[in-house]
């Protein structure tokens, strides 16, 4: 099994990363990049990276602990998804406010429904991605 070496030497690391992560598939006259699986053995010889990974693990544990204090974690996450969908859609020019996103389509004026649908599609796509 191949190992990815993480070191302080950027050139050594980048060569290791390219070798580890690159796989080209030839299909007739075309070739395409296909990423390799990441669930492989890692070798980390940089103590600073180990310290940072350990700190990240501790912080994830704290975050998990705080999730026990939220009465309805699914609603909490859904509201963040709604906020993200609304903000990301506004970059593309939709003019929907957060309170409008939470309404039923029939409760909106007809001129707001197209933008509402764009945000709803974004929400559905994010929910699908989480489930799959």
Q: What is the pLDDT of residue 130?
A: 83
How far is the first Cα of the chain from the last one, in angstroms, to the nearest whole number?
27
Output Rg (C-alpha) for the chain, integer angstroms.
Answer: 22
- Output the pLDDT for position 1: 44
CA distance linking residue 100 with residue 114, whole number of Å: 12
Confidence of residue 29 (pLDDT cuts 50, 70, 90): confident
pTM of the predicted model over 0.85: no
Q: Where are the domains of the chain?
A: 4-67, 73-131
Please state, rounded to an integer, the average pLDDT across all residues of the chain. 82
Give the CA-trace dihedral at 66, 67, 71, 72, to 10 degrees: 160
Say which residue, 25 or 122, is predicted with more confidence. 122
- Which residue, chain included where needed, has tokens 């859904």? 78
Weakest-pLDDT range from 7-11, 28-32, 43-47, 123-127: 7-11
Question: Model confidence over 92-104: pLDDT tens digits?
Answer: 888 899 999 999 9
Ramachandran region of residue 120, left (φ > 0), alpha (ψ -120 to 50) or beta? alpha
3-state secondary structure of 45: coil
For residue 70, how far is the Cα from the chain centroid?
22
Give the closest residue to 80 by CA, choosing from 122, 46, 112: 122
Other CB atoms within 10 Å distance of the CB of residue 59: 10
Distances (CA, A) of 92 to 4, 83, 88, 118, 127: 39, 15, 7, 10, 20
């Amino acid at each position: 099994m191949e190992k990815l070496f993480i070191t302080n030497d950027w050139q050594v690391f980048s060569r290791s990363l390219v070798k580890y992560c690159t796989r080209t598939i030839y299909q007739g006259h075309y070739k395409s990049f296909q990423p390799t699986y990441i669930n492989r053995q890692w070798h980390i010889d940089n103590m600073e990276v180990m310290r940072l990974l350990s700190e990240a693990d501790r912080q994830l544990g704290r975050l998990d602990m705080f999730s026990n204090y939220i009465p309805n974690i699914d609603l909490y996450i859904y509201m963040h998804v709604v906020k993200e969908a609304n903000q990301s859609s506004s970059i593309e020019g939709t003019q929907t406010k957060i309170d409008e996103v939470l309404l039923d389509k029939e409760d909106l004026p007809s001129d707001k429904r197209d933008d509402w649908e764009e945000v709803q599609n974004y929400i559905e796509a994010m929910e699908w991605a989480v489930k799959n």
